[in-house]
Amino acid sequence: MLEAKNISKSYPTPRGPLPILNNVTLSLAAGDAISIIGPSGTGKSTLLYILGALEPPTSGEVTLDGRDPFTLSEKDVSAFRNQEVGFVFQDHCLLPQCTVLENVLIPTLVGREKSEERAKQLLDQVGLSHRLDHRPAELSGGEKQRVAIARAMIRGPKLLLCDEPTGNLDRHTAAQVADVLVEMNRASKNILILVTHSAELAGRCPKVFELVEGQLVAK
């Protein structure tokens, strides 16, 4: 269960605080999938960073299965992010010198566990089991994003946060990547939050919200 209560965020500027989020409240259960749309600069990324414990809110509370990451020590919050949250960004952020399989295993290096079987299984789920030894430069944009999704899923996160993951892809490839995300969500019963510019892709999630003037409005 992900619960965000009265999340507000403002950034300090020389002319005073700039309000971005205004009392956002959200409650999602395991297996839920939502998308968030809204024009550029409305605070979608800021909200994802707060939900993923990358950035603290100015006020309000976030809990994932009862744990508030912002009350944890620096070390414990890193472990929390590594274990409980998967991120997929607009840029795939793969390491060019590593193979597809090695890239998917990167988050497990922190946990020092043997995860190769799981990595191969995930790469099979995203349709790339035949590309394990390829380098990112040998993959298309959509394939790179599918590797990034497998990497985000390697530790079995409760929460998968995707920030415009198809923003650099053509329409057809974007639809394929969205299919992979929705299928992952169905199979793993994690919570999926998909931020996208595309109303068409947003519609793949059962619930669509728009971020308007710092608040989430159900569409």
Ligand X SMILES: Nc1ncnc2c1ncn2[C@@H]1O[C@H](COP(=O)(O)OP(=O)(O)O)[C@@H](O)[C@H]1O
Residue 131 is classified by DSSP as G
Q: Which stretch binds ligand X (CB under 6 A): 40-48, 135-143, 174-182, 186-194?
A: 40-48
Which DSSP state fits 41? Answer: T
Stretch touching Mg ion by CB under 5 A, among 39-47, 107-115, 151-159, 208-216:
39-47
- How far apart CA 72 and CA 86 sit, in angstroms, is 18
Among 42, 99, 108, 145, contact with ligand X (rule: CB under 6 A):
42
User: Does 44 sit near ligand X (CB under 6 A)?
Assistant: yes
User: From the CB of 57, what's the least distance to ligand X, in Å?
Assistant: 13
Span from 35-43, 85-93, 96-104, 184-192 in contact with ligand X (CB under 6 A): 35-43
CA distances from 208 to 21, 31, 36, 216, 219 (A): 18, 15, 6, 10, 6
DSSP 3-state of 156:
coil
Which is nearer to ligand X, 4 or 123 (by Cβ)?
4
Q: How many CA atoms lie within 13 Å of 61's alpha carbon, on the beta-carbon side?
A: 9
Full strand arrangement of the beta sheet holding 16-28: 16-28, 2-13, 59-64
Q: Judged by CB, which is closer to ligand X: 48, or 123?
A: 48
- Please identify, using beta-carbon distances, which residue of 11 and 207 lies nearer to ligand X: 11
| Closest of 1, 107, 105 to residue 51, by C-alpha | 1
C-alpha to C-alpha distance for 47 and 7, rounded to whole angstroms: 9
Among 45, 145, 185, 190, binds ligand X (CB under 6 A): 45
Identified binder of ligand X from the candidate list 14, 40, 114, 137, rule CB under 6 A? 40
Smaller CB separation from Mg ion, 142 or 165: 165
Measured in whole angstroms, how far is the alpha carbon of residue 85 from the centre of its chain? 7
Task: Give the count of alpha carbons within 13 A of 115, CB side only.
Answer: 22
* Residue 57 lies near ligand X (rule: CB under 6 A): no
What percent helix, strand, coil does the chain show, rounded to 5?
40, 30, 35
Listed ranges 44-52, 67-75, 106-114, 122-130: which one lies at the site for ligand X (CB under 6 A): 44-52
Q: For Mg ion, how many residues bind (rule: CB under 5 A)?
A: 1
Question: Using the rule CB under 5 A, which residue among 35, 42, 45, 99 binds Mg ion?
Answer: 45
Binding footprint of ligand X on the chain (CB under 6 A): 11, 20, 38, 40-46
